[in-house]
Structure 1
Amino acid sequence: MLGSYTPKSFDEDTIDSNEPEVGKFVRHPDLIEKAKVQKTKKDPFKKAKEHYEKLKLEKLQKQQELEKSKQEKAQKLQEYKKKKQERFKKLSKKTKKGQPVMTGRLELLLEKIQK
């Protein structure tokens, strides 16, 4: 049993947990408040981690907005090209002799007037 003795400091608890708390030191109320304030402060690592998560979330939202605007832009461009192609087909129709077919042109004029 050599070396099994460990000296205890004066303020360590020597009584069992079943017995009432007799003989323990009482802390000053100001020290208790300071300890609470220190516990509520975030350590730098947690603070930095929260900041990183916040930036990551903002970056993700920004990326989603850009993707959405790209899709809207592509859809508008596709609609424009389709409309332009239909208009071109109506205007470029020709008869057997090479004369332009007027029905397509008249339809376009009618649409313009109705708008």
Structure 2
Amino acid sequence: NEAAATEAVVFIAVHGGPGEDGRLQAACEAAGVAHTGPGPETSALCMDKVATGERLRAAALLGRVSTTAKVTRKHTELAALSSTVAAEATWAKLQSALWPTAAPGAPTAICIKPSGDGCS
């Protein structure tokens, strides 16, 4: 109440979790306190990489394209990378699934990240 009464502004500089996923922003807004950065809905959206990619793809801003080629929650797929033979087989499987029309030897890359974490 005091922060709202004095027209304070919360400078949000908290990394991860409540500082990035919209919870802190929602608490500020519920208390009538101004804050820096986006609102709770945008913050929550940006913490979900799959949802963010879908929104960007739908918007097609300035011709930019974003895509999430594959989402998996199977720890077994990642655990399969623990041996060289298994890693090569898993990589070949991922390549054929993600780039079915790529010419043999064409450059391909993959980035594995958690979908709901603040890591960029």
TM-score bracket, shorter-length normalisation: under 0.3
- Larger Rg belongs to: 1
Per the normalisation by structure 1, the TM-score is: 0.21
Per the normalisation by structure 2, the TM-score is: 0.21
- Relative contact order, higher structure (CA 8 A, sep 6+): 2
